[in-house]
């Protein structure tokens, strides 16, 4: 029996895939639970249309993320922190500070979790911070920490 998976099924496949399964497995498990539909000609055409529209949507989202990454990579954020005589700062720059600065400077909303900052920035100077927009699209923002007057 050929079925089109509606939802991801462990050890069988992902949603949208066409699979050949045993008749009993399809009739008694997959179809009643709404995990799959029977692969008729109409259902196959509809699945192909949905897959192509989903691919187009992913492609647009990827292109938008690439453009956003280019804008973010051109951005330089300047933070002024109080510093001691040896150049040690009082305080630090966190991912929350970076998100707020990106929103203020570039009018771009970025998730706090997408800012890859292993630990807060405490050293004076110029740092590069990675922002993960998609799993394969990353932007590198320049962060400059200067001493406050």
pLDDT of residue 41: 93
pLDDT, tens only, 98-124: 999 999 988 989 999 999 998 999 888
The predicted model gives 129-145 an average pLDDT of 92
pLDDT of residue 30: 95
pLDDT of residue 135: 87
- Rounded Cα distance, 124 and 87, in Å: 7
Sketch out the chain's domains with CATH numbers: 2-61 (3.40.5.10), 67-147 (3.10.430.100)
Q: Within 10 Å of residue 132's Cβ, how many Cβ atoms?
A: 17
pLDDT of residue 99: 93
pLDDT of residue 148: 81
Structure token digits, residue 15: 């949603």
pTM, two decimal places: 0.68
pLDDT of residue 36: 94
pLDDT, tens only, 4-27: 999 999 999 998 899 999 999 999
Within 8 A by CB and 6+ apart from 146, the residues are 78, 79, 80, 81, 124
pLDDT of residue 90: 85
The predicted model gives 74-79 an average pLDDT of 92
pLDDT of residue 123: 86
The helix (H) or strand (E) run that includes residue 9 is: none
Q: Is 12 helix (H, G, I), strand (E, B) or coil?
A: coil
């Amino acid at each position: 029996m050929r079925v089109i998976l509606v939802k991801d099924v462990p050890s069988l496949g992902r949603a949208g895939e066409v699979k050949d399964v045993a008749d009993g497995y399809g009739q008694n498990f997959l179809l009643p639970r709404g995990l799959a539909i029977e692969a008729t000609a109409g259902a196959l055409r509809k699945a192909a249309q949905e897959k192509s529209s989903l691919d187009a949507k992913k492609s647009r989202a990827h292109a938008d993320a690439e453009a956003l990454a280019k804008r973010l990579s051109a951005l330089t954020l300047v933070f002024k922190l109080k510093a001691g005589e040896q150049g040690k700062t009082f305080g630090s720059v966190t991912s929350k500070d970076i998100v707020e600065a990106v929103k203020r400077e570039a009018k771009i909303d970025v998730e706090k979790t997408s800012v890859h900052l292993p630990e807060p920035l405490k050293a004076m100077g110029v740092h590069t911070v990675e922002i993960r927009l998609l799993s394969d699209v990353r932007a590198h923002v320049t962060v400059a920490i200067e001493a406050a007057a």
